[in-house]
């Protein structure tokens, strides 16, 4: 198998608290396909990295930018293709748009879509490796976004009984990482991919009684984004006939919504 190493330069382009993201199209690499990324690309031989980021952002999005400063973090990824092992060294520049931010357009075939997202509302679990760390540094050090009220442990357990089908379905939603009890201690699930200390999570688990549940963890940089996700999921479950069995923030849907929106 061929081994290759490249340097990729990314641009964190900010418009107030919004950041420009690209959704990657990598059908030959399922681990990266449809994940969100910062615009950027490979540095050419002899090219200055500041020139690389300006060129690549324009080639992918049509937006002219000016690199302002380099993010003091370097990330490395190892991607395994069918006939190649690719070692990618990622560096990132904080960039200022010099063109019209309303005139971005998808120009590269490897980009499925472009989107401006408020940095506090991005689900970091849907981004490529390294993006969470780059954006986390920008959030803390340049936008002053601080995560507050970590570990509030808001959780709601719901059930939906369907006697005619002999089915008892459950749904659990929480703002804490999933864990299981082992030997009188809490063992984190997803040990290799736990949230960073600067992020908040929303955990969803669901299934049938007596069957191993499925779980999904979403990661955000603002409590408001977590609350919006909690309310959305709970309203969907309420509409489907679920009832609250246990909760740390209220025993009725109205009480839970009131508590979340305070």
Mean pLDDT of 113-132: 90
Residue range 203-231, pLDDT digits in tens: 899 998 778 788 888 888 788 888 999 99
Per-residue model confidence (pLDDT) at position 150? 47
For the stretch 19-51, pLDDT in tens is 999 999 999 899 899 999 999 999 999 999 999
Which of 201, 204, 214, 209 has the alpha carbon at shortest distance from 236?
Answer: 204
Assess whether pLDDT exceeds 70 at residue 59.
yes
Q: What Å distances lie between residue 74 and 9, 71, 161, CA to CA?
A: 10, 8, 50
* pLDDT tier, 166 (very low <50, low <70, confident <90, very high otherwise): low
Task: Please give the domain boundaries of the chain with CATH numbers for all domains.
Answer: 2-141 (3.90.79.10), 155-260 (no CATH)
Q: Which residues, including other chains, have CB under 8 Å from residue 250's CB and lie 6 or more apart?
A: 244, 256, 258, 259
Long-range contacts: 24-29, Cβ < 8 Å, 24+?
24/110, 24/111, 24/112, 24/128, 25/109, 25/110, 25/111, 25/112, 26/110, 28/81, 28/82, 29/79, 29/81
Q: What is the pTM of this model?
A: 0.69
Q: What is the pLDDT of residue 121?
A: 85
Structure tokens at 117: 């997202």
């Amino acid at each position: 198998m061929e081994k290759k190493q490249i340097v990729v330069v990314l641009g964190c382009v900010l418009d107030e608290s919004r950041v420009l993201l690209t959704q990657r199209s990598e059908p030959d690499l399922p681990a990266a396909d449809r994940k969100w990324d910062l615009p950027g690309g490979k540095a050419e031989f002899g090219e200055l990295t500041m020139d690389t980021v300006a060129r690549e952002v324009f080639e992918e999005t049509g937006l002219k930018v000016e690199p302002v400063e380099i993010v003091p973090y370097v990330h490395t990824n190892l991607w395994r293709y069918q006939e190649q092992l690719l070692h990618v060294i990622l560096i990132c520049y904080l960039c200022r748009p010099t063109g019209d931010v309303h005139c971005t357009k998808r120009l590269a075939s490897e980009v499925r879509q472009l989107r401006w997202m408020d940095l506090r509302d991005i689900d970091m679990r849907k981004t490529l490796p390294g993006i969470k760390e780059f954006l986390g540094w920008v959030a803390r050090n340049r936008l002053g976004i601080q995560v507050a009220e970590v570990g509030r442990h808001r959780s709601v357990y719901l059930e939906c009984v369907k006697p005619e089908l002999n089915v008892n379905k459950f749904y659990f939603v929480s703002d804490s990482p999933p864990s299981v009890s082992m030997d009188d201690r809490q063992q984190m699930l997803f040990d290799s991919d736990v949230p960073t200390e600067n992020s908040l999570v929303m955990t969803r688990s669901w299934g049938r009684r007596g069957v191993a549940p499925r779980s999904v963890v979403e990661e955000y940089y603002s409590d408001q984004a977590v609350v919006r996700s909690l309310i959305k999921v709970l309203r969907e479950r309420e509409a489907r006939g679920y009832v609250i069995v246990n909760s740390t923030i209220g025993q009725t849907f109205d009480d839970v919504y009131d508590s979340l929106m305070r």
